[in-house]
Structure formats: structure tokens, C-alpha cells
Amino acid sequence: MASRTAPHEQHHDSAPPNGLAGEPAAGGHDRGERKAPSKLAFSNDNPPASEDEYDDESPRPPASTDLGFEAVTPGIDPRSYLAKRTTTTSGAPSVSYFSRNDVTIPSRTGLRDPLSRQTTLPYKMERRESLSEIRAANPDLSLSGNIISATFSAPHSFTYRTGGQWDLKSRRGQSALIDSFAYLSSDATPWNHTVVAWTGEVDHPSDAPLSPPETPPTTTVGASSLNPLSAPVPVDATSKPAPVQSEGLWVPKKDQERLEYELRHDKSMPTIPVWLSDEAESTPEGITLTDQTRWRRYAEHDLYTLFHYKQHEPSDGRKERVQWADYYRMNQMFANKIIEFYKPGDIVVVHDYYLMLLPSMLRQRAPGMYISFFLHSPFPSSEFLRCLPRRKEVLQGVLGSNLIGFQSYSYSRHFLSCCTRILGFPSDTLGIDAYGARVQVGVFPIGIDAAKVESFAWNDTVTEKYNTLKSMYEGKKIIVGRDRLDSVRGVAQKLQAFERFLELYPEWREKVVLIQVTTPTLVEAEKGDPQKKVSSRVNELVMKINGQYGSLGFSPVQHYPQYLSQDEYFALLRAGDIGLITSVRDGMNTTSLEYIVCQKDGHGPLILSEFSGTAGSLGDALHINPWDVSGVAEKINLALTMSDDKRMAMQGSLYSHVTSHNMQSWISKFIRKVYTVLGDSNNAIATPLCDRALMLSRYRDAKKRLFMFDYDGTLTPIVQEPSAAIPSERIIKSLRLLADDPRNLVWIISGRDQEFLKQHLGHISAMGFSAEHGSFMKNPHSDEWENLAEKLDMGWQQEVIDVFQNYTDRVQGSFIERKRCALTWHYRRADPELGEAMSRECHKELMEGVGTRWEVEVMAGKANLEVRPTFINKGEIAKRLVKTYHNPGAPADGPDAGPIEFALCMGDDFTDEDMFRSLNALSGPVLDADHVFTVTVGASTKVTLARWHLLEPEDVIESVALLAGTDDIQQVSEVNLAALSSVEGRVPGALH
């Protein structure tokens, strides 16, 4: 089958940059295969395989390539996690399930594509649905055939060396996810597939350049003097010179392009890297990579911990503000990179909590984009998510998707509950209504490549190690455990349960051994004190159990704080009589799935925590609550005494599930659900979240700006008593700052009467007002109100008053508001159900009566009904203002000269739709459409003409304050700080 070209690949030259002549990346092998890696993980002879490589709860940070990480157990040298390369007896590198080729991209011509040297067993080429069949079944979608997978870290970690040389190594973790990328890129699917991912922290040896060429040194310490007279003056011997501050890793542009070319043209998994840096650090000459771990800090410190039901101690919030700004900018840079090569009809799949803002950012840039999101980690209940300060922004970010996938039903239920309780969005078990569109939610438990696991688990080397283990523990039952040493894996709970088991069932003493392997955590928030506490507790329990129930010749707990090689890992899983997983909170722990595959002959029972993401799909396993140590002890005894027939039946059911619901099945079902949801959506497009960074950028570039704000529900929240809707000091200050700028034209266009507007905002003389939906106008710096409806016949008002009074008498708590040109019946303080019912009845009566005899509109608002003249509305005011102020051909020294280069219109009610309609009509013929921001505020079910949305008046106030520069940099909100940092290309220095 012919190989396909990666999306947008035709836009690049076929030759590598800087004259590099690349050979065909496929290397002549079939696209459905990946060649065997050249390095293996043997504990004594091979590079180790990380625990994370087969634990797919969520993407993890890259593994350390040096000895700079801490040992997980006190007294354990980090070198015990490292090992040497091994080869087979024939001298060839061994095939590895977890690792890929560790390769180098040289800085010379004649390159071969290094990433194409990855193979595994060929994917089973069953009859697949063709792209033409998919398009025929979904004719309205115009599918391009391209899938873009956005994931935080690239499949490889990179080391940059002097001379433009790149070393690529397999990144620890995400094996099932990376396998799914390779599967989508193969000929086993009809799709063209491209991965978009951050390079990760680019490592560099000591000989790599740390700053751009000719950068002056930051200190003269250690430099030789030019002559004896200029030698340094001796100082006190106890004084220490200031250390040399590294400015980061400097990568020339040509070396960036060389790596990009190789990754982009890898036929087995085309990848487009995202380079993350401040704007000033990226130049035409190259890029300086500084403090690279900052891009993951918010996700791992705040989101990872909270999603696993953990919480940090409160702080002053300074660090969190900067971390949120970096998280926002990182998602922005991903969005910018995807937009560079996105084509209409592409399907974008966003993976995990690192990129939770990305769906909304993509929706802002391409409203019609097909976007899905899959969360690989748990999702907490609403009561816990409420503790996250940026909870609203995270939820809104994900809701830019058409489809959101979770590992288990409980996670999806929690997400739906959060959208309703925190955002106020209506939801059901299948999805959420969000800004004029439907966001579907589904459950898609991830799987493993079971055939590949089985092939590697039964090779000769593994069988040899399996036989050794069995002989070592002959006559004893083996319980196996393999976990990261962090607070969510439940290693301490496992040891406590095992101790309780030995206490309750003394007949099993010296007949059962627990082999527990622990590996160091790689999550930023779990390092340091939390890790030391867990490791100390684990060591205490191991020593206690072995001291109490062991002997000189036998220890019931064999604790190995080290990485296992692939062969040792599979041998251990095969040798186990029980697999014991006691996670206290987990995503999709694939160790349980691999244990089942490895037990196809042994039929060892699986004891699985009910808090693991696999618990929902592995219903035949023995489920336990890891906090109930006695209950776990009972299940251990049950598993050990289970009859052969029952064990075989349990294993047969689990094995059938794991081999049928594999990795290929998971990603295929998810993609199929994406285009099915899109086909059922009736082309409804959600109104994207207002892009504050884009709005601020456009505002700063404009020389003449027009603002039009509604009042109730926009600048102030809706309240029970209309007279209580008083503007805050912050919005008054922000409006005054905007109005005092001579480049700005600020108008309040409200349904309120003149007296109310004058009382609360009239002191801002530079601001213009329109009252009663356009019936009256007052220009800036003027005290005169112009009555635009004075020539209209108002004879209809008495008839409307009579109708309104009838319903006021029938609905307790309702009242009539009389304006000069409009009448409004309010029922905010009435019983909601009665008020709604009577409103519909009143509306019908008015339409059939007054509406047929007079030129009036009967409008249903938020808990009110209003009647006004047909020819008076906010849209007419918007058109009048644009006509007055937009004068591109007027003399420069004339009044109101120059074009309007920025227009912002915000409103929450249906009456504001008239403004949006007018501005939409003017966008293009009169105003630059990219410089017009129409923003609706409020309910998620709203179908609107506005191009953008904000959730509530608080967001409007924040947006206005951002444009006006109301807040000092130390007081600016986290959301505004993120937008400001995005526009300026860095976090303001005052915050560091």
C-alpha cells in the first residue's frame, strides 16, 4: 500500500534545510511496521524501562538523562536506576516493547530519517472503512482526511550537541498513546496523521553553547587579567564570588530547521515540534531556551494534583499567577502552530490536561474547526474542582471542543456536573449546551497493543527470567506490584494491607512473597518533600513487615526501588500468582491490562483498586477499596484460595476484553465518534470565548476606537430589584480611563431611562449615552438629551398599561416600569414558574392586540416583557455612531476625522442582538471585520449574532480593565495577566 504524505507536507521543500539531502524516511519498510529499537532496558546490562512507559495515566515529564534526579528511597544511589546497553546473543540490539531507537541526527549531508527506524509487529490489516466511505456517510462535513493530534510532549526527548548534532531518545511514559499515534499514521487507517508536540526540555551536555554567539559574559570571575596591573584585588578568603548565571541553551535556526525537517518527514509518525520560549528569545538567527520546565509547572502543580484529589497549602498566589500566564501562553503557542498548517476539514484531537485551554483557542481562530479533546487523567467532583482558582477558565477552554472523551463514566459525570454547577450550563448524560452548540461527552477506556505485549512477553529471554523467578520462589505464592513512588499509587496502603493479611491469615506466613517494584515519580508537584515522605513511609513499612513476619532465610516483602528492564517486567507479570494494584486515585493504569495479557497461561487473579480508571472496564477483576486494609487482606486470601475453574473463567473473560478492546479499537472508536458527532450537529457552531489577548493587541494598534456597552447584565449583574443595579468602583474607574483617552469614543447604550444613567454614570462627562433602547441620546461633553422618538405617536401606551396591570394583579411580586418611550413588565421577584407562564400568556395577548394595531415591538427579556416603538432600537444607534465617527476621507484636522480601527460592542440581552446585527452588516463594507469585536454575555444556551462570548458581567469588567490599564501589574488578575503576557511575549518582569 502506498505511503501517504503528512498534512501540509506539500508546503515544504522536499530537500532538508541548509542543503541537507535527506534519504527517503520510510527506509523501504512498510508503513504499517515500525522497526525494532536498538536499545533495551535490562536492570544490569541495559538502559532501564521507566514505570511510566507502560503506565498511561497521563503524559509525564521527560526522564532525566543524567544523575541530577533524586533517589526515590533514602540511601539509594540514582545510578541504581540506570544500566548499560545490551545486545542479543547474535550481537544485534534486542527488540524492546517500551523503548525506541536512541539516534543522532548529524550535521552532515546524507541523512536517513532516524525516526523511521521504529518497528513493531505489523498492525493486523483487517478490512477498514475507506475515507471515501466515511465521506459518503458524512457529506456535510467535507472531511479533508487529515487528523492532527496535539499532545504536550513529543514522542522523543532531545539532546542538542555542539555542531548541530541532535540525539533522540524514547520519552518515558505514554506508550499506549504513542502507539495510537503510530497506528493512525500507518496504512492500517485511512487517515493522514500528524502529531503536534512540544520538544520537551532540550537537554544539552556541557560543551553545548548556552547563549547566542558573541554574548558578553555575565561575570569576569575566572577570567585572566589583561596585564599584571589589572589583576583582581584580593578579597577576604571567606567571600564567595557570584556564580555564573546561565542564560539558557542557544539553538541556531539552521539546527532548529534540521530537526523540524526530520520530524516532519518521518513516515512512521510525522511530528511538528512546538518551540516554547518568550518572544524576545526567538529570533531569525535562532532560539534561546531558558527555564524550560516552566511550561509544565501549572499543569503539574495545580491541575495534576487537584485532578488526583490532592491540594496544596495556600500561598500568596504570586507564583501561581506567573505559572498560569505561562500555561496560557503555552496553549496559545500550540494554537498558533496548529493554525499554521490547518486546513478546513481537518480533525484536531487534543490530549490531556496540559492543553485544556487549546480547544477554545482553536475555536477562536477557526470557528468551524472539528475539535475533540481526550483527558487521560481522572476528573474530580465539582466540590473539589471549586478549589481551583482558574476553574472557570479551564472548563471553558475544554468546551471549545465538539467531543470530550474520558476514561470512565464517573469522570464524565463529574465533568458534566462541574459545567452545570460552576458555569451554570445545562447538561445531561450525553453532553452540554454551550453558546449555541452542543458539546458531546463520551467514555472511551484506553487500551494497549495486546498483540505486541504478548509477542514480547513470550520471547526466550523473558521465559528464561520467568523460570529463574519461579525457581527462586519455588513453593511460594508471588504477589506482584509495580508503582511510581508517589502519593496516588497507594504503595503504603498496599503494604499495610499485606501486613494485615499476614496478621489475619497466619497459615500463609512464609508461603507468600510480595515483590514490590517502585520507580521515582517524574511529576513536578510530587518531587521534594512529598516524595520523601512517601518513600520514608514505604521503607518503614517494609522493615516493619520483614522484621515481624520474616526470618533469616526469608523476607515476605521484596522491595526493589529501581527501573525494571522490559524483560524483567514481563517475566515478573508472568510469574505472579496475584496482581495487586491499590491506587488511591488513578487514570488508566495499563499495568493491569498488561498483567492480564501475561497471565493467559497462569490465570493469576487481578486485585484492582476501585479508584483506578481501569476498574470500570475490568468488571471481572477483584475490586477493592485501598483504604479498607482488612477488606484488601480478605481479597488477597480469596485470590489465593480461588479454585482453578473460577480463576480460568475470570482470566478468560478479562483476557477477551483486553485483547478485543485494545489500543487500535480505542483510537478508532474515538475518531469514529468524532465525525459521527460532527455529522449529527447540524452544522451548529459555538460562539467562541472572547480572545482577550487578540482584543488587547487590536486595541493597542488602533488610533481610533469605538466602544458600545449595554448596562444591565453587562456592566452590572442582573439583580432582583432594578434600582439596585449599581456600577462598581472598578468599572467606573475603567470607563473613566477609557473615556479620557482622546483616541476612544465610549458609549453606554441601555434600556434604562435618562435619570438612572445620569445618576450613576453621568459624572463621566467624556462618555456618551443612549437611553431607552435608542429613544434618547446624549453626546460626550454635552448636557442635552436628544429625543429621537418625539415625533412618534405614543397612543399605544395606555392600552399596554391596562394589559400589564391585569397581569401585575395576577402575579405577586411583579411590577410595571414606565419609561418615556417604552413600557416594561418585570417579574424577577415573582415565582419563576408562574412568572414564565404568565409572561408567555401576556406576550401572546399583546401580539394579538397592540401588536396588530400599532408599530411596536413586544420583546421578551430576562424576567421581563417590554413594548417599544418598532423604529427605535439599539441597532439604529450603532449604525448612527459608526456613520458619525468613521470618516476615513475627512481632513486630518477636522472633527471626528479618521477611520474607526477598533470597535467593541458588548451586551447580554436580545435587544443587544440589534447592535450585533448592525455591526456585522458594517463589518467588511465599512469597518475591518478583524477589528470589530461583538461580544455576548451570559447564558450558554444562547444563539447569538455576536462573534464572541463572555460568561458573566465580571468577565466584562475584567476585559474593560485590561484595555484601560486600570490595575497595577501587581494587582492585575491572573486571566488578564495571561492575556497581557501573551501580547507582550513574556511575563512582566515585575512579577519575577
On the question of pLDDT at 26 being above 50, the answer is no
> Alpha helix locations (H) across 783-853?
796-810, 832-848, 850-853
Question: Stretch 377-390: mean pLDDT, rounded?
Answer: 91
Question: Stretch 583-590: mean pLDDT, rounded?
Answer: 81
Bridge partner list, 934: 905
Task: Report how far residue 379's alpha carbon sits from residue 827's, in angstroms, rounded to the nearest whole number.
Answer: 39
Nearest residue to 394 via CA among 376, 409, 379: 379
Question: Stretch 787-794: mean pLDDT, rounded?
Answer: 78
Which has the minimum average pLDDT: 20-24, 102-106, 736-740? 20-24
Reduced to 3 states, what is the DSSP secondary structure of residue 323?
helix
On the question of pLDDT at 857 being above 90, the answer is no
State in Å, rounded, how far the first CA of the chain is from the last one: 55
- Say what the pLDDT of residue 173 is: 64
Which has the minimum average pLDDT: 153-167, 823-837, 977-991? 977-991
On the question of pLDDT at 82 being above 80, the answer is no
Decide if 333 contacts 354 (C-beta within 8 A).
no
The burial of 555, by beta-carbon neighbours within 10 Å (0-12 exposed, 13-18 middle, 19 or more buried), is given as middle
Question: Stretch 85-94: mean pLDDT, rounded?
Answer: 42
174 band by pLDDT with thresholds 50, 70 and 90:
low
On the question of pLDDT at 714 being above 70, the answer is yes
Nearest residue to 633 via CA among 498, 516, 510, 508: 498
On the question of pLDDT at 43 being above 80, the answer is no
Per-residue DSSP letters for 139-173?
A: TTT---SEEEEEEEE-SEEEEEETTTEEEEEEPSS
> Hey, how many other C-beta atoms are within 10 angstroms of the C-beta on 820?
16
734 band by pLDDT with thresholds 50, 70 and 90:
very high
pLDDT tens digits, residue range 413-455?
999 999 999 998 888 999 998 877 889 999 999 999 999 999 9
What are 125-128's contacts with CB under 8 Å, separation 24+?
Answer: 125/32, 125/187, 125/188, 128/188, 128/189, 128/190
490 band by pLDDT with thresholds 50, 70 and 90:
confident
Question: Stretch 977-982: mean pLDDT, rounded?
Answer: 91
pLDDT tens digits, residue range 597-646?
999 999 999 999 998 888 888 889 999 999 999 999 999 999 999 999 99
- Residues ≥6 apart with Cβ < 8 Å to 336: none
840/792: higher pLDDT: 840
Question: Stretch 117-129: mean pLDDT, rounded?
Answer: 48
Task: Report how far residue 281's alpha carbon sits from residue 290's, in angstroms, rounded to the nearest whole number.
Answer: 8
Of the ranges 41-50, 219-228, 710-719, the best mean pLDDT one:
710-719
Phi-psi group of 385: left, alpha or beta (phi > 0 → left; psi -120 to 50 → alpha; rest → beta): alpha
Question: Stretch 685-699: mean pLDDT, rounded?
Answer: 91
- Say what the pLDDT of residue 139 is: 83
Residue 116 DSSP code: G
- Say what the pLDDT of residue 121 is: 40
Decide if 774 contacts 749 (C-beta within 8 A).
yes
Question: Stretch 813-822: mean pLDDT, rounded?
Answer: 86
Specify the pairing of strand 823-826 against strand 815-818: antiparallel
Residues above pLDDT 70, as percent of the chain: 80
On the question of pLDDT at 41 being above 80, the answer is no
Nearest residue to 669 via CA among 504, 499, 444, 873: 444
Mean pLDDT of the chain: 81
Which has the minimum average pLDDT: 32-41, 149-158, 714-723, 855-864? 32-41
Cα–chain-centroid distance for residue 933?
26
Bridge partner list, 518: 483, 561
- Say what the pLDDT of residue 868 is: 83
700/126: higher pLDDT: 700
On the question of pLDDT at 533 being above 90, the answer is no
Cα angle for residues 308, 313, 314 (degrees, 5° grid): 120
Which has the minimum average pLDDT: 125-139, 185-199, 518-532, 965-979? 518-532
Nearest residue to 129 via CA among 666, 679, 668: 668
- Say what the pLDDT of residue 802 is: 93
862 band by pLDDT with thresholds 50, 70 and 90:
confident
320/44: higher pLDDT: 320
Which has the minimum average pLDDT: 480-484, 683-687, 730-734? 683-687
pLDDT tens digits, residue range 903-938?
999 999 888 999 999 999 999 899 999 999 999 998
- Say what the pLDDT of residue 649 is: 94
Question: Stretch 534-551: mean pLDDT, rounded?
Answer: 90
- Say what the pLDDT of residue 63 is: 34
563 band by pLDDT with thresholds 50, 70 and 90:
confident
Place of cell 491490562: 593
Is the alpha carbon torsion for 170, 173, 176, 181 positive or negative? negative
